[in-house]
Amino acid sequence: MSMISCYECGKKISDTARACPNCGAPGKSRRSGSEKEGWIALLLAFLLGAFGAHRFYVGKTGTAITMLILTLTLFGAIISGIWSLIDMMIIICGCFTDAKGKKLKF
């Protein structure tokens, strides 16, 4: 049995533990992925992708605001459109992450 450190309190716990016995924080299996849904991000990217809606949803507000500002200009709208198409492909592949770097769940 392997031991890991709890991400909340730092105490050593089993790598298969569902929660830390010391502080109650979710174990490795609960925190490995994002709590954000991939299909919602995909739908937002398809419908409002050029405006950065999918990036606002996953918490990437900096790049979402950049996409929004770009969309308000004629040339920037083309860039945002291509950017959202690339994001849709990344979401479909299952590699898109939220602001904390965790992969979206499907």
Q: What is the pLDDT of residue 29?
A: 47
Chunked mean pLDDT (size 10), the chain, 106 residues: 74 80 70 83 96 97 96 92 96 94 90
Q: What is the pLDDT of residue 15?
A: 75
How many Cα atoms within 13 Å fall on the side-chain side of residue 14?
Answer: 6
Q: What is the pLDDT of residue 23?
A: 84
Q: What is the pLDDT of residue 30?
A: 44
How far CA 63 is from CA of 25, 30, 69, 97, in Å, comes to: 30, 27, 10, 13
Q: What is the pLDDT of residue 28?
A: 57
Lookup: tokens for 21: 């016995």
Q: What is the pLDDT of residue 31?
A: 47
